[in-house]
Amino acid sequence: MSKFTVLDLFSGAGGLSKGFLDAGFDVLLGVDNDNAALSTFELNHNGAKALSLDLSDKKVFKDIENIIGNRELDVIVAGPPCQGFSLSGPRNFDDERNKLYLAVIKTVKTFKPKAFIIENVPGMATLYNGEIKDEILKRFKKMGYNISCKILCAADYGVPQMRRRLIFMGVRKDIGEPHFPNPTYDEKNYITCRDAISDLPSRESELGENTDIYIDLPKTKYQIKMRGKCKVLSNHVGTNHTTLVRETIALVPEGGNYKDLPEGWGESRKFNEAWTRYDGNKPSKTIDTGHRNHFHYKYNRVPTVRENARLQSFPDDFVFLGTKTQQYRQVGNAVPPLLGFALANELIKILEKEFK
């Protein structure tokens, strides 16, 4: 049996489709409008193409068809930004401002894949008392899909990060019913920050190079998995903080934040995530697209791109391109590959029934 094929919409660097690739799917194409992220996608997806397109443009389907050729499209995965939703409410679901989500719906309607996965923030489930979520479910059911949604925590699937995301899974009615993967980890054995990044060079006395070498041997099974056969350490470049910033970070205890600072310190940043130092004995908080508010559990600096990538479960041979700011954004926007891997394996069970 040939591999199932995948199209990744709003792909970014391609964390979700990387999980599908590792599960044995054939990733054909990533579509986004972030050129740096698309360069990263194309470099790391085993020959897949990357296409810079405005997904609200009607011509997009012809461009996708030109690349896919005569291949049948089995699965569409997508992570459309939720900011597209208008504040006018669910009665105006077809509002122009909702075009990003509508683009996903139109793409599924056009290509009729066997299944699809859509990822979004947990707040989508309760937006307008759940009416947006219900409208999405209704539209896909009308298009001939059995569909379900559930909030999943990445840490439950081996990712060293407490990242919660709303996942929609749709399966064509002639094929089967959607179901989600069972958790493989819990609070007793979550992968921690220390498990994930304690083998990487400290970057305390030097910033390092964009391509470097490992100094220490891996210390955990997770580190062994992330290194794989990789010999070169990429994207592990430190940040040149001012003395004041370093001294402020040093005052925050492991697992603490701005509330632990003495009076008069860190006055420029006082909000929930400000001056947060990770707890080495727990998974990290949600990795964001910036790099100013979270700090290494041990060292007085922000995590490097590679450390954030490890906390997102990107293997070390997944290299991020672009400026350092672009790299941080690509990592923060991504779906953790190990969560994608769990979803992909669950879909394989569903799709393979069609051939039995």
Quick check: is 137 in a domain? yes
Q: How much is the pLDDT for 243?
A: 92
In tens, the pLDDT along 45-83 reads: 999 999 998 887 778 888 999 999 889 999 999 998 866
The DSSP secondary structure of 93-104, one letter per residue, reads TT-GGGHHHHHH
In a domain, residue 252? The reply is no
Three-point CA angle 233, 239, 242, nearest 5°: 160
Q: What token pair was written down for 251?
A: 């005052």
Q: Is the dihedral of CA 312, 332, 76, 82 positive or negative?
A: positive
Residue 1 has pLDDT above 60, yes or no: no
Looking at the domain assignment, is residue 166 inside a domain? yes
Can you tell me the mean pLDDT for 229-234? 95
Give per-residue burial for 193-213: e unless 16+ CB within 10 Å, then b.
Answer: bbbbbbbbbebeeeebebebe
Q: Give residue 351's domain range.
A: 5-183+336-355
Query: Could you tell me if residue 263 is inside a domain?
Result: no
Contacts of 11 (CB under 8 A, 6+ apart): 17, 30, 31, 32, 37, 38, 41, 50, 79
Mean pLDDT over 184-199 rounds to 97
Residue 19 lies in a domain: yes
Q: pLDDT tier at 132 (50, 70, 90 boundaries)?
A: confident
d(CA 208, CA 218): 19
Confidence check: pLDDT of 356 > 60: no
The number of C-alpha atoms within 13 Å of 273 and in the hemisphere containing its C-beta is 11
pLDDT, residue 295, reads 93
Residue 337 to residues 127, 136, 157, 174, 268, Cα–Cα distance (Å)? 26, 25, 10, 29, 35
Q: How many angstroms separate the CA atoms of 8 and 251, rounded?
A: 43
292 pLDDT band (50/70/90 cuts)?
confident
- Identify the CATH number of the domain in which residue 340 sits: 3.40.50.150
Burial of 345 (0-12, 13-18, 19+ CB in 10 A): middle
Within a domain: 55: yes
SS3 327: helix
91/140: higher pLDDT: 140
Report if residue 34 sits inside a domain. Answer: yes
> For a pLDDT cut of 90, what percent of the chain falls above it?
72
Intra-chain end-to-end CA distance of the chain, in Å? 11
242 pLDDT above the threshold of 60: yes
Domain count, the chain: 1
Residue 157 inside a domain? The answer is yes
Which residues on neighbouring strands pair with residue 168, listed in sequence order?
Answer: 118, 149
Structural tokens at position 236: 């592990």
Provide the pLDDT for residue 86.
Answer: 62
What burial class does residue 131 get, using C-beta atoms within 10 Å of its C-beta: 0-12 exposed, 13-18 middle, 19+ buried?
A: middle
Tell me whether strands 145-153 and 49-52 are parallel, antiparallel or unpaired. Answer: unpaired
Residues 6+ apart with CB under 8 A from 49: 28, 29, 30, 42, 67
Annotated catalytic sites, by residue? 82
pLDDT at 205: 84
